[in-house]
């Protein structure tokens, strides 16, 4: 069973619906103790870094996530803000993140003449940087849906799973062992997003 964490910062409903559509048992985790019964965890997220970490801490999820993922080895998939919270910190706020992967989140920065807008919003092509179960069977350059103003900067390049270009190349997905994160929204990304969710459910 996959537990989708509800900490007031993400659209858990659309993720649950996609998981059910592909025939995967999934439930919303309303309390930290719900994670003990899950085989895998999804941390969604829309909003600001400090609000997200604040909610995880206040509800008691932060330490339990670390225990389940680092201590017990359960796979976790962070989505959008949920991916950013897997890192150390963000220029968006002052709180410390979950620190499951060694990266910081920085705001996009462009010269005025580029005309590029922040946030980076809409469909974009990504490049897969390494072969892991989450991207199994994806044989073409996939397109995913993004909405974000900040992106991860990994200290170890081997943690970069996917990259994308918006003004410059940035990290679109991360992976270290049983820990995965996508800056894009697989639940909004049609067949390529569904493949990511299928792989997380069945291959990871």
Per-residue pLDDT of the chain in tens (204 residues, 90 and over written 9)? 999 999 999 889 999 999 999 999 999 999 999 999 999 999 999 999 999 999 999 999 999 999 999 999 999 999 999 999 999 999 999 999 999 999 999 999 999 889 999 999 999 999 999 999 999 999 889 999 999 999 999 999 999 999 999 999 999 999 999 999 999 999 999 999 999 999 999 999
pTM of the model as a whole: 0.97
Domain that holds residue 79: 2-202
Residue 93 has, within 13 A of its CA and on its CB side, a CA count of 17
Residue 86 · residue 69 · CB < 8 Å? no
Write out the catalytic residue numbers: 80, 185, 187
Number of folded domains in the chain? 1
Q: Give the residue from 49, 54, 50, 40 showing the smallest Cα distance to 7.
A: 54
**CA–CA–CA angle 204, 169, 131 (5° rounding):** 25
Find the CATH number of the domain harbouring 167: 3.40.50.880
| Structure-token pair, residue 194 | 């569904």
Q: Give the residue from 88, 90, 86 showing the smallest Cα distance to 78.
A: 86
């Amino acid at each position: 069973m996959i537990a989708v964490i509800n900490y007031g910062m993400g659209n858990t409903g659309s993720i649950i619906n996609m998981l059910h559509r592909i025939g995967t048992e999934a439930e919303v985790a309303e309390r930290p103790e719900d994670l003990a019964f899950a085989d895998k965890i999804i941390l969604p997220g829309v909003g600001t870094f400090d609000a997200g970490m604040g909610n995880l801490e206040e509800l008691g999820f932060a330490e339990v996530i670390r225990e389940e993922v680092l201590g017990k080895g359960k796979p976790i998939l962070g989505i959008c803000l949920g991916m950013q919270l897997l890192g150390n910190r963000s220029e968006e706020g002052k709180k410390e993140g979950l620190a499951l992967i060694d990266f910081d989140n920085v705001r996009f920065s462009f010269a005025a003449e580029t005309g590029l807008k922040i946030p980076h919003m809409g469909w974009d092509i990504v490049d897969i940087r390494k072969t892991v179960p989450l991207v199994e069977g994806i044989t073409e350059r996939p397109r995913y849906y993004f909405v974000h103003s900040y992106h991860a900067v990994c200290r170890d390049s081997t943690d970069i799973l996917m990259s994308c270009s918006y003004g410059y190349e940035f990290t679109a997905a991360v992976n270290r062992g049983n820990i995965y994160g996508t800056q894009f929204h697989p639940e909004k990304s049609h067949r390529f997003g569904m493949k990511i969710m299928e792989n997380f459910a069945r291959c990871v």
